[in-house]
Chain A
Amino acid sequence: MSTELPEGKDAAVKLADSDFAADRREHDVRSALLDYWGRIRAGELGALPAILGLAGLILLFFALRPNTFLSNQNIANLFTQALPIVILAMGLVFVLLLGEIDLSAGVASGVCAAVMAKLIADSGQPWYVAVISALAVGVVIGTAIGWLVAVIRIPSFVVSLAFFLGIQGITLKLIGDGGTVPVRDDFIVALANKNMPVWLGWTLAAVCAAGYAATQLLRWRRQQARNLHSRPVELVIAQSVVVAAALLLGTYLLSQDRAASPLIFLGGVPWGVPLVGVLLIVCTFVLARTPYGRHIYAVGGNAEAARRAGINVTRIRISVFIIASGFAAVSGIVAASRLNSVTPDAGGGNTLLYAVGAAVIGGTSLFGGRGKARDAVLGGLVIAIIDNGLGLLGTKAYLSFLITGIVLLFAASIDALARRRRSNTGR
């Protein structure tokens, strides 16, 4: 195959009938936008619902609570509120990519947090021993669920429903009815309650923005050099600018003074945020750029085809449950940090609903095969805003439950309708 870019009119004619014309055609912004529009109409929504949801909710709550909703104090609150949801949802994305579900991820985060808190408070263990133990508990839970689903072939919703009940029992036994384990370890408390120095926040944000732009542009250049399928450079730049703007705006908002008293300064990016950033980068890399991630998508898309391609489907199935429960442990630790304590109902209630909702709102399909790590972040922010905004409005508990339930159903409907649309339009 010719690798030179054809020149002149003759070449242009040849190009039109040559193989893979779309790969060789120079994409311009217009054709790329038309392409994007076509994909949206065909049901490939991507991040669009989450971004529209974010914008709509911010406007809504700002209109209803103009003084409090966008206060420096509340914005920081929003981010720390989103942290455990996002982490839990990011682990669930792996499970959802296979078209499976882990209903026990919420309470698993609770029991892991309980183990960590007990080890520090009762046994006087250092924080890292406690954290590693909590992660180990998560891995054990995930292995058990994964084994039952992948080897015994019990539907995941039944296995994880059983674990949902059983794990709550274990947490109750660990902590005792009505008990509370305080979390006072400096390191753990700092995760959700302490902030990075302002300069460090800015530096990290700048480095991330530059790093993102650099990887995108380098990939574009490599694709151009080898005459591979690529997007128009304008779009690559625009996307890098948007990501950089989001990072810098977030840093700016979190760097404002939010102390109640004018005498002290309280500001900076909470330490949990870079933790989520690292998880996001790692998960994105694993899913999009490694054979393991590719195999997850393959198993989610067509498990039999994956098996025939020589992929060890059982191992992939077990591994995603381990990842989900491992992330649940991290999420539980961050939640415990935020609340400074662990109670028997940690990770219960609407924790799981929030996390699944976050992933689905972000664009991960419940039917498997579609989803990204960033979905957890976008969807997690949407969920956190709903939770936070309803709190500010003083909504009664029963109404909060109702509203979150409806939001989840709404997101799932969009997912199902988009899927139908895709199959109708052959996508």
Chain B
Amino acid sequence: MNAGDAWEPAARASGPQALPYGPAAPSGPADPPFPDGAARVSRPANAADTLTAHDRSARGDAARWEPLGMAVTPVLDLRGIDKSFGSVKVLHDIAFSAYPGEVTALVGDNGAGKTTLVKCIGGIHPPDAGEYRFEGRPVRLGSPRDAAALGIEVVHQDLALCENLDIVQNLFLGRERRRGIALDESGMEELARRTLSGLSVRTMGSVRQKISTLSGGQRQTVAIARAVLWDSKLVVLDEPAAALGVAQTQQVLEIVRRLADKGLAVVLISHNMNDVFAVSDRIAALYLGRMVAQVRTADVTHRQVVELITSGVSGDLGLRR
């Protein structure tokens, strides 16, 4: 296993007993898997395929993009998703897609419904109505386990870590490696360290530290590591940089970009426009529970996105007045 792959998830590919590395397997020195420097921004420039909610409702169709020339099935394709909590309707007729190899930024003001949408994607809240397609097939998620089985990983805004367990135990929670009926602690600890090193985590003393002893940024890294540990197809990060400092934010953005470059579909929720423009290929804007625009990042300006977030319209983008 070479150093560049060190962080690469191996968990799902290998059976519970077959570790991809053994105690004797020589492994290279710890190279940071992400080269230093700013996140690489790779965005296919494309001008003509902007669809707005307004066009969509005119055609009675969900928003679709076809990346230049070829028809790529979106990994995730939601149409007409509704979600209410009691009498409060939080999501209205949401259409949303995420494509392999691309970072889709999901933006919106506080309370717009971003987290609720993420929970629908992750199988935590079943949507009340609408179509959920994964890799082109309609699916029905009854639980987070179903989502994980499909290859959907969510880093929740509130992290969802167990403070009384240590880092390794949290990383593998619900998907523990076993040896017979017992836990394979050694295998899990090795893979955990490998993954965290791959994420350039240098500040933690021990992978056997309890979560309760970690700082906010460290917890964030553990939550992200848990999502990239598995061989997933869609990674959703709900405000992953909210609690982070400048350097750590940069690191998270690099991870996000790197995941997309590997061919995963990534959905990133962020309030920081600089981050969104630095790393995303597409931007989806939620306004009061409605998807007001889904555009290519290259086609819009900061100002337009901010207007979409704050008022739901910007020029001919957004809600029809």
A joins B in a complex: yes
Also in contact, A20 and B206, with CB within 8 A (given A305-B173, A426-B213): yes
Q: Which of B193-201, B250-258, B259-267, B308-316 contacts A (4 or more CB under 8 A)?
A: B193-201
The reply to whether B174 and A309 form a contact with Cβ atoms under 8 Å apart is yes
The reply to whether B148 and A310 form a contact with Cβ atoms under 8 Å apart is yes
**Does any Cβ of B come within 8 Å of A223's Cβ?**
yes
The reply to whether B174 and A306 form a contact with Cβ atoms under 8 Å apart is yes
Q: Which of A108-116, A137-145, A295-303 contacts B (4 or more CB under 8 A)?
A: A295-303
Least distance between B287 CB and chain A CB atoms (Å): 27
Also in contact, A302 and B163, with CB within 8 A (given A1-B6, A1-B197): yes
Q: Which of A22, A298, A300, A426 contacts B206 (CB 8 A)?
A: A22
**Does any Cβ of B come within 8 Å of A41's Cβ?**
no
Residue of B nearest to A293 (CB): B183
**Does any Cβ of B come within 8 Å of A67's Cβ?**
no
Also in contact, A307 and B144, with CB within 8 A (given A2-B30, A427-B213): yes
The reply to whether B30 and A310 form a contact with Cβ atoms under 8 Å apart is no
List B146-199 residues whose CB lies under 8 Å from chain A. 148, 154, 156, 159-165, 169, 173-176, 178, 181-183, 185-186, 189-190, 193-194, 196-197
Least distance between A45 CB and chain B CB atoms (Å): 14
Interface residues on B, range: 35 or more
List A223-259 residues whose CB lies under 8 Å from chain B. 223, 225-226, 228-229
Q: Which of B122, B196, B197 contacts A308 (CB 8 A)?
A: B122
Also in contact, A305 and B161, with CB within 8 A (given A3-B27, A20-B193): yes
Also in contact, A311 and B173, with CB within 8 A (given A19-B193, A305-B162, A426-B212): yes
Instruction: For the complex, give the distance between the alpha carbons of A371 and B159 in Å.
Output: 24
Residue of A nearest to B178 (CB): A291
Residue of A nearest to B124 (CB): A308
Residue of A nearest to B31 (CB): A1
Instruction: For the complex, give the distance between the alpha carbons of A310 and B149 in Å.
Output: 10
- What chain A residues lie within 8 Å of B6 (beta carbons)? 1
Least distance between B193 CB and chain A CB atoms (Å): 6
- What chain A residues lie within 8 Å of B213 (beta carbons)? 426-427
Least distance between A1 CB and chain B CB atoms (Å): 5
The reply to whether A291 and B183 form a contact with Cβ atoms under 8 Å apart is yes
The reply to whether B201 and A19 form a contact with Cβ atoms under 8 Å apart is yes
- Fill in one digit per residue for A1-42: 1 if any B CB lies within 8 Å of its CB, else 0: 111000000000000011111110000000000000000000
The reply to whether A311 and B174 form a contact with Cβ atoms under 8 Å apart is yes
Residues of A within 8 A of B (CB): 1-3, 17-23, 222-223, 225-226, 228-229, 285, 289-291, 294-295, 297-298, 300-302, 304-311, 369-370, 422-423, 426-427
Known: A18-B30, A308-B122, A427-B213. 17 other contacts (CB 8 A): A1-B30, A1-B193, A2-B28, A19-B196, A19-B202, A20-B193, A20-B204, A222-B186, A228-B189, A229-B189, A297-B164, A301-B164, A305-B159, A307-B144, A308-B160, A310-B145, A427-B210
Cross-chain pairs A/B with CB under 8 angstroms, 5 sampled: A2-B28, A3-B26, A229-B208, A305-B160, A305-B161
Which 3 A-B pairs rank lowest in CB-CB distance, beginning with the nearest?
A309-B174, A310-B145, A22-B205
